[in-house]
Structure 1
């Protein structure tokens, strides 16, 4: 049985793109040649792998299984090349990391700095994404490593402990709650909030908690960063809920930080990868660097 890595790569690309024409243009291979390789794969395995219609191409159950197995094989082959390359020109490479809004402004900058100082030939691409999008992107091999707030997900990934954080309530000093040391979330719903944009895990948590409390979340202002959230609280546009690490960085004069007296206020940041043993050498170094951090 002969399996050609090029045929497997073209098959995976066709499953991703949905058309042979798009794959042919992307891979600079004639469309008939791509079709021929797909037919040869179906003949080799003795089963239909793709369903072809005038709307495009979709994988059969067997085809979907082959696409998953093929990605693993192609990852392993690419990993062999990368690992052998280390011997020829020293350690160099790149790693793509997705992090959520909480981590990107607190723990990640010093960790990236210390890593790059130790491995100056490795380029780290750090991009901010929502937690759920991070799990899906790492599962789809869009990025090698993700750092997100632990939440229910269906992605086929490995999840490793990283560090914990706690949500706090930030209020203006002249706010009715400013004399308190701790408040429940239900008590905060009596006042207007400054909230993060829709789609973030924290926003989703707050909406669920408001629904359980039987009160609406009065979102006075919506922002896209914790920096902006703190500034809005400072000028009296409402109160804000944010991780303690972010609150310490961005907290401004004229505000007070209160304890959020809820079980879900304690959150866990985790690291995710598709498979730790299949990471590229550069990604493995960064992964180990994160896990070794205090």
Structure 2
């Protein structure tokens, strides 16, 4: 059985992405080379590691076992790279960071920019996920760090305060809700035409879950990729939207757009930086955790 670290990292990336093409791209390998490596691993072991289907791949039982070992080996290598950085100038560290929508778009870019500028040998792989999925991925060893809302179950994780995120309603200036005084219950929004965030947005999934608890479904006019796009469309009179308060503040109240606090308790969330154990992270991941916690 002859595996190298490139094989193990490729297999982990393919398994986590559910796609050989996406995994190869993340690994910086040509698709043909990645496919050959995966076939070689299966031939060496004499078992199928991936079940291939039209939409991608899934790990077999043997593949799941290999994935667990690959994560352990790669995590140990990351620790080695961090701890022995002075003797390994050619090695680069990588931190896997997952976060919800507000953290990804509003709160992480600033401290990440400062950290990456100060640490040129460290790369950060940032992905947006719902808070529940972030916590599950951390527990499963699929990420080093995560930012989650405080309502999510964090059993098995350590956490530190990061930011307070408040969700607000943005409405066209001529809408009836623009004339309402005080916070607006989310139930009053669910019957309106909405501007939503794109499919896969962690915040939009959170809002849809809150609507489902009220027994309704949100009705979208259009779905767009950013808070800024939501505000632009709302200001143009296309519908209502829910965005992070920090994004809404970039659009001053005026004739075209108004914003109001949501009355529901879940609309104000303490975001927390999480890891399985901060002191067991590789040195460069610990440095990023310290930088993010220090920026809170």
Q: Same fold (TM over 0.5)?
A: yes
Give the aligned partner of residue 197 of structure 1.
Answer: 198
Kindly tell me: are residues 175 and 91 of structure 1, through their superposed partners in 2, closer, same or farther at Cα, counting changes over 3 Å? Answer: same
The alignment yields a C-alpha RMSD, in angstroms, of 4.3
Give the aligned partner of residue 58 of structure 1.
Answer: 60
Q: CA deviation at 1:105?
A: 2.8
Q: How far, CA to CA, are the matches of 1:228 and 1:262 in structure 2?
A: 24
Determine if contact 1:230/1:251 at 8 Å carries over to the other structure.
Answer: no
Q: Deviations over 1:231-267 (max 9, x none)?
A: 0100001111112122223557421111101021112
Figure out how many residues of one structure are paired with residues of the other and give that number: 273
Determine if contact 1:9/1:74 at 8 Å carries over to the other structure.
Answer: no
Pairing 1:1-294 to 2, within 5 Å after superposition: 25-26=36-37, 34-35=44-45, 58-59=60-61, 68=68, 71-87=71-87, 89=89, 93-117=93-117, 119-125=118-124, 127-131=126-130, 134-135=134-135, 143-150=143-150, 152=152, 159-180=159-180, 181-250=182-251, 253=254, 254-294=256-296
The farther-off stretch of 68-77 and 161-170 is 68-77
Q: Deviations over 1:164-222 (max 9, x none)?
A: 21111111121111122321111123422111123333323333333333444222222
The farther-off stretch of 206-215 and 84-93 is 84-93
Question: Bigger radius of gyration, 1 or 2?
Answer: 1
Kindly tell me: are residues 188 and 90 of structure 1, through their superposed partners in 2, closer, same or farther at Cα, counting changes over 3 Å? Answer: same
Determine if contact 1:168/1:257 at 8 Å carries over to the other structure.
Answer: yes
Kindly tell me: are residues 151 and 122 of structure 1, through their superposed partners in 2, closer, same or farther at Cα, counting changes over 3 Å? Answer: farther
Q: How far, CA to CA, are the matches of 2:168 and 2:51 in structure 1?
A: 54
3-state SS of paired residue (1:195):
strand
Determine if contact 2:11/2:38 at 8 Å carries over to the other structure.
Answer: no
3-state SS of paired residue (2:109):
helix
Q: CA deviation at 1:67?
A: 5.1
The farther-off stretch of 208-217 and 173-182 is 208-217
Kindly tell me: are residues 77 and 177 of structure 1, through their superposed partners in 2, closer, same or farther at Cα, counting changes over 3 Å? Answer: closer
Kindly tell me: are residues 247 and 80 of structure 1, through their superposed partners in 2, closer, same or farther at Cα, counting changes over 3 Å? Answer: same
Q: How far, CA to CA, are the matches of 2:291 and 2:177 in structure 1?
A: 41
Unaligned 5+ runs, structure 2: 19-32, 53-57
Q: How far, CA to CA, are the matches of 2:81 and 2:125 in structure 1?
A: 24
Q: How far, CA to CA, are the matches of 2:174 and 2:148 in structure 1?
A: 34
3-state SS of paired residue (1:233):
helix
Q: How far, CA to CA, are the matches of 2:11 and 2:114 in structure 1?
A: 40
Unaligned 5+ runs, structure 1: 39-49
Q: Deviations over 1:92-124 (max 9, x none)?
A: 74434344331233221221233245x243344
TM-score (norm 2): 0.70
3-state SS of paired residue (1:105):
helix
Q: How far, CA to CA, are the matches of 1:176 and 1:52 in structure 2?
A: 58
Q: CA deviation at 1:6?
A: 5.0
Kindly tell me: are residues 292 and 5 of structure 1, through their superposed partners in 2, closer, same or farther at Cα, counting changes over 3 Å? Answer: farther
Q: Deviations over 1:24-71 (max 9, x none)?
A: 932796876x23xx7xxxxxxxxxxx78999898336xx856753563
